[in-house]
Amino acid sequence: MSMRQTFDDSAEPAFGPRHTPLIRAAMAEQGLDGFVVPHEDEHQNEYLPKANDRLAWATGFTGSAGAAVILKDKAAVFVDGRYAIQVRDQVDGEMFEVRDLVEGGVPAYLREAARPGWTIGYDPKLHSPDALARLSEAAAGAGAALKPVAANPLDLAWGQARPAQPKAPVVPHPLAYAGEDSTSKRARLGAELAGDGAAAAVITAPAAIAWLFNIRGGDVIRSPLPLGQTILKADGTATVFLDPDKVTPELPAWLGNEVALAAPEDLEPALAALGGQSVLVDPALTSAWYFEALERSGAKVIKAADPTTLPRACKNAVEIEGARWAHIRDGAALTRFLHWLGTEGQVTLPDELEAVAKLEAFREATGALKDISFDTIAGATANGAICHYRPTHRTNRRSEPGSLLLIDSGGQYLDGTTDVTRTVAMGEPSAEMRKRFTLVLKGHLALTRVRFPVGTTGPALDALARAPLWAAGLDYDHGTGHGVGSYLGVHEGPHRIAKVNNTVALRPGMIVSNEPGYYKEGAYGIRIENLQVVTEPAPIPGGERPMLGFEPLTLAPIDRRLVDVAIMTPEERGQLDAYHARVLAVIGPLVEAEVRAWMEEVCAPV
């Protein structure tokens, strides 16, 4: 049964709703001169339930990363390079100044815009302690003070129009997909807590709770995640705090006698009961409110990484095999779509929404799709240059002869989560398109075939994907690779491949995307994305050290019409041919004869 969440954007305005006066009025009632609006919610989610998407309600910006500061006399919205074009389309520039989220960000704006004696409010349930420390220092630098609020003025302004909190049923995730039972996970992590001198850990990240107890839900859009909290004890016992309306009849027995269920209102007393004990909390994933509650109780807070993060990222053998099957199933659906796009679509020139509907129909036809893993990105012509663009009825474009169509999409299946991008030529591409596509492809292939020693981090590999573009004076403003969950979130840490520093080494079992791109504003976008899993260390003939590597999981044709073979090396041509031969061998038997015949043509050697 699909958990598909739908939306109607047919009446979407040119700019975000003008709610700023309502927010300022609520701020004034609390004596605030400003208020910080993060994108994250109480669970530090990237993708949010509608009830928690405060940044979108306040500004109109719907991206998955950002922030805003609303002062009594002006306001600003902050986005990173992925959303530089999108934010100008969604946010009223007369009401919000657009600023860079990464370079300076909110702290720099507070230093510049706040005035001496001002009080800047924040909701302690929405900010991590580390983020608050930076904001507090910035406000103090301007002579202002940062103040926590008991009632979020944005929520007060939203009032009865705010959607209800989600109450999706929480269900067991069978061992056939999880590969390790919750008792084993809790015992293993409990022993680690004891070794670190902690009596307990407070965990609030939905993906961590879903993984630890082998449960899934549907509170977070496009992700099978339940909103809740847990206190894990060093002896492996735990309490899970869930809205009783979400507890299904089979859940108590599934969790077992070592796990107690409690209501959300029981959480604060449970934190108070930890007084005098050492409690581990992740300052990057848990809001400041929890730290304050624990400190009031007299607990000793240990700031450390969520103990589930690394073991959740390193998939076990069952999860890896599930990912392989999920990608084969998903690859067949995607290949059927690419066949439609490469034949009928070349004549009809579909618009973005038509392409999205067609692709989702092919995935739905598998009979195994639980939901898409994120809102499908379909960028025709100039919209393809907006990295994380989602088509709406207002922005929808039709493909044109001689243009490119960028499709970034994925599915949620019980055995795995997929995320794949293909760029397709609609008609005859230009020489520039073919050259730049091939530069992206060369970087993608380099990051697929690389071998690297134990201890290597993602930033050490990032330049491999960018080097061909750099040599041509080109680049892209997003990371090259993010982790992906096992029927969890499509974005998962702690590892990543990007320019920014990351100290987490890549380890066997980690799934990571490989997605270099190029974007020509006002013209077209290019991205090629496969998911790949880190393989076990293995010797190289003549070498001295075993080396890790990558196994591609994604199986779908890459548009050979966009490949400029003349600028590819023999090694790269052989690598692309071998990949296409594998796609044909694995996916070919799963599709109809007409699609198989088309695959034989598009997967032929270059």
Q: Give the residue-averaged pLDDT of 448-472.
A: 98
Give the fold, CATH level 3, of 20-161: Creatine Amidinohydrolase; Chain A, domain 1 (3.40.350)
Q: Which two tokens stand for residue 418?
A: 């997929």
Q: Give the residue-averaged pLDDT of 77-97.
A: 88
Q: What is the pLDDT of residues 355-367, one digit of tens each?
A: 999 999 999 999 9
- Pairing relation of β-strands 34-38 and 119-122? parallel
Question: In the beta sheet, which residues pair with residue 438?
Answer: none
CA–CA separation, 255 and 409 (whole Å): 33
Report which DSSP code applies to 38: E
User: What angle (nearest 5°) sits at the alpha carbon of residue 309, between those of residues 306 and 314?
Assistant: 155
- Pairing relation of β-strands 377-380 and 278-281? unpaired
Neighbour-count burial of 305, counting CB atoms closer than 10 A to its CB (0-12 exposed, 13-18 middle, 19+ buried): middle
| Residue 335 pLDDT > 90 | yes
| Residue 5 pLDDT > 80 | no
Q: Report the phi/psi class of residue 169: left, alpha or beta, with left for phi > 0 and alpha for psi in -120 to 50.
A: beta
CA–CA separation, 306 and 196 (whole Å): 13
Contacts of 325 (CB under 8 A, 6+ apart): 415, 416
Q: What is the pLDDT of residues 212-247, one digit of tens each?
A: 999 999 998 899 999 999 999 999 999 999 999 999
Check residue 330 and give its pLDDT.
Answer: 98
CA–CA separation, 348 and 359 (whole Å): 16
Helix axes 182-195, 206-213, angle to 10 degrees: 120
Contacts of 359 (CB under 8 A, 6+ apart): 333, 334, 337, 376, 378, 407, 409
| Residue 470 pLDDT > 70 | yes
| Residue 125 pLDDT > 60 | yes
Helix axes 570-587, 593-602, angle to 10 degrees: 170
Check residue 45 and give its pLDDT.
Answer: 81
Q: Report the phi/psi class of residue 214: left, alpha or beta, with left for phi > 0 and alpha for psi in -120 to 50.
A: left
Computed over every residue of the chain, the mean pLDDT equals 94
Report which DSSP code applies to 398: B
Q: Which two tokens stand for residue 168?
A: 């999706």
Q: Give the residue-averaged pLDDT of 267-296.
A: 96
CA–CA separation, 377 and 82 (whole Å): 13
What is the pLDDT confidence band of residue 64, given thresholds at 50, 70 and 90?
A: confident
| Residue 20 pLDDT > 80 | yes
Which sequence spans correspond to the domains of the chain?
20-161, 171-312, 314-602
CA–CA separation, 193 and 176 (whole Å): 27
Q: Give the residue-averaged pLDDT of 121-134.
A: 92
Check residue 181 and give its pLDDT.
Answer: 97
Q: What is the pLDDT of residues 416-425, one digit of tens each?
A: 999 999 999 9
Q: Which two tokens stand for residue 159?
A: 């009032």
Check residue 69 and give its pLDDT.
Answer: 97
Q: Strand (E) positions, 237-350?
A: 238-241, 259-262, 278-281, 300-303
Q: State phi, psi for 82 to the nearest 5 degrees.
A: -65, -30
- The H or E element spanning position 378 is strand 377-380
What is the pLDDT confidence band of residue 390, given thresholds at 50, 70 and 90?
A: confident
Q: Which CATH superfamily is domain 171-312 in?
A: Creatinase/prolidase N-terminal domain (3.40.350.10)
CA-wise closest residue to 363 among 382, 340, 343, 384: 340
- Contact between 409 and 377 (Cβ < 8 Å): yes
CA–CA separation, 413 and 373 (whole Å): 9
Q: pTM (2 decimals)?
A: 0.92
Check residue 522 and give its pLDDT.
Answer: 94
- Contact between 41 and 85 (Cβ < 8 Å): no
Domains 20-161 and 171-312 share a fold: yes
CA–CA separation, 400 and 392 (whole Å): 18
CA–CA separation, 139 and 118 (whole Å): 9
Helix axes 458-471, 431-449, angle to 10 degrees: 150
Q: What is the pLDDT of residues 422-459, one digit of tens each?
A: 999 999 999 999 999 999 999 999 999 999 999 999 99
Check residue 6 and give its pLDDT.
Answer: 43
- Beta-carbon neighbour count of residue 200 at 10 Å? 27
Q: Give the residue-averaged pLDDT of 164-176.
A: 96
- Contact between 15 and 98 (Cβ < 8 Å): no
| Residue 10 pLDDT > 90 | no
What is the pLDDT confidence band of residue 16, given thresholds at 50, 70 and 90?
A: low
Check residue 15 and give its pLDDT.
Answer: 59
Check residue 3 and give its pLDDT.
Answer: 45
Q: What is the pLDDT of residues 550-588, one digit of tens each?
A: 999 999 999 999 999 999 999 999 999 999 999 999 999
Q: Give the residue-averaged pLDDT of 497-518.
A: 97
Check residue 387 and give its pLDDT.
Answer: 85
Give the fold, CATH level 3, of 314-602: Creatine Amidinohydrolase (3.90.230)
CA–CA separation, 449 and 452 (whole Å): 10
Q: State phi, psi for 220 to the nearest 5 degrees.
A: -105, 130
Q: Which two tokens stand for residue 341?
A: 């796009």
| Residue 310 pLDDT > 80 | yes
What is the pLDDT confidence band of residue 130, given thresholds at 50, 70 and 90?
A: confident
CA–CA separation, 72 and 210 (whole Å): 41
